[in-house]
Structure 1
């Protein structure tokens, strides 16, 4: 599993890609919830997932015979999807109370009361946590499906030989 998550070299078949994506999705959900319940400093842990995501997606792109740099398109796609999901469902999760918290936070920030602003942001993060988690899962499924459906090159390419059976790679 460490080769799957921590090495961008080589190729992986669809089933190994999905295994890696499931592990990363679970980690993403955990790392999304940690700062809400344990404090904002825990949010920095999510940065640790960038490299494993690069590795898993890059190897899948390699298996299709293309460059791993396409992972940038995946990130942009995730950003666009998150924005759309936020616009469509954000007000539902925020509610009237959330909008009142936003207004108060903006007023307090304008008055220089930064600590009150931070506390308001923490309350807003709690309200938006279900949307953040759902968005992460939905984005991984949609983008994973798109990348996972790329055809495997049936011959050796510049990224390595055709991956073997999963028992050989696990």
Structure 2
């Protein structure tokens, strides 16, 4: 794989990409997010670096929307939906996976609530939410955004529109 193509995909928002490139970009960002989530087990506040992943997410969704002839400002709606879906999943999964820890925290037992077991359960919640939101939002965007077969205001059609592996 060519690192220049990954940099182009993840760090620039000009141009157009097809559905395969969007999925590959979403998977790369998802894996980086999962690694950051895993590191929060050891270093609790490193997860804040995950907010830096919003820029590459903006880039891939802006280019995918450009492929459908839509302006990049629509990416804000996609990212807003991503954040809302993540929050809803967290609200649903937290009582299911870490309900006992939340109850301990509400009773004032901070030692049990902030221990390694809580961090591990928090990682599981974040990992499930990360996978579902990244892949789900990318899939939904690909279903609703149909690429223009000809050149549009954002450039020529992407070379990867019919390719199964656009980054190879």
1:20 and 2:25 are equivalent in the alignment: yes
Instruction: Say which structure, 1 or 2, has more relative contact order (CA 8 Å, 6+ apart).
Output: 2
Q: Greater helix percent: which structure?
A: 1
Rounded to whole Å, the distance in 2 between the matches of 1:137 and 1:72 is 20
Q: Which moved more, 1:149-158 or 1:80-89?
A: 80-89
CA shift in 2, pair 1:46/1:163, >3 Å: same
Q: Indicate which of 22, 32, 39 corresponds to 2:37.
A: 32
Residue 37 of structure 1: SS of its match in structure 2? coil
Rounded to whole Å, the distance in 1 between the matches of 2:23 and 2:101 is 39
1:76 and 2:71 are equivalent in the alignment: no
**Matched pairs, number:** 159
Unaligned stretches of 5+ residues in structure 2: 1-5
TM-score by length of 1: 0.81
CA shift in 2, pair 1:168/1:93, >3 Å: closer
Residue 154 of structure 1: SS of its match in structure 2? coil
Residue 68 of structure 1: SS of its match in structure 2? coil
Instruction: Decide which structure has the larger Cα Rg and report it.
Output: 1
Q: Which residue of 2 aligns with 1:95?
A: 99
Q: Which residue of 2 aligns with 1:2?
A: 7
Rounded to whole Å, the distance in 1 between the matches of 2:73 and 2:14 is 12
Rounded to whole Å, the distance in 1 between the matches of 2:40 and 2:89 is 21
Rounded to whole Å, the distance in 1 between the matches of 2:62 and 2:99 is 39
Unaligned stretches of 5+ residues in structure 1: 109-115
Q: Which residue of 1 aligns with 2:122?
A: 128
Q: Indicate which of 49, 63, 72 corresponds to 1:45.
A: 49
